[in-house]
Amino acid sequence: MGADFGELTTRENVKKGDLVKLKKLGQKEVKIPALDKNGVQHGWKTAHRNEWQLENLGVKGIDRISSSSKELVLNSAEMIKKQQLQMRNFSQIKQSMIQSEQKVKIGIRLG
């Protein structure tokens, strides 16, 4: 989630089952060690770290205000591609199950 997520959960006294509100505030640039495949550091590289806001709603009650950020544009190119991929995966799984079922039926035939 984020490098400071543990600190946020401690500060907000979050426990298992609590209702929380998590909001991504943005990103900041940070320098991290540049490691080779053996784990040896060879300088530094720039990375982006997400900044988060966490609020324990159990303390104040439930926030029922809907957020426009939850809206999905279903006719966007990205969503259409996602839908097509899901349909392809479904069709492959369906075909595999049908083939397995037919093999079982063939194996049961007597005579």
How does pLDDT run across 62-96, given as a tens digit for each residue?
444 544 554 556 567 787 788 788 888 988 998 98
Say how far apart CA 68 and CA 49 lie, in whole Å: 24
Residue 65 lies in a domain: no
In a shared domain, residues 80 and 50: no
Residues 6+ apart with CB under 8 A from 25: 51, 52, 53
Average pLDDT, stretch 35-62? Answer: 80
Q: Please count the structural domains in the chain.
A: 2
End-of-domain residue from the set 60, 80, 101? 60
Question: Pairing relation of β-strands 20-35 and 41-56?
Answer: antiparallel
In a shared domain, residues 74 and 31: no
The pTM score is 0.42
* Full domain range(s) for residue 77: 70-111
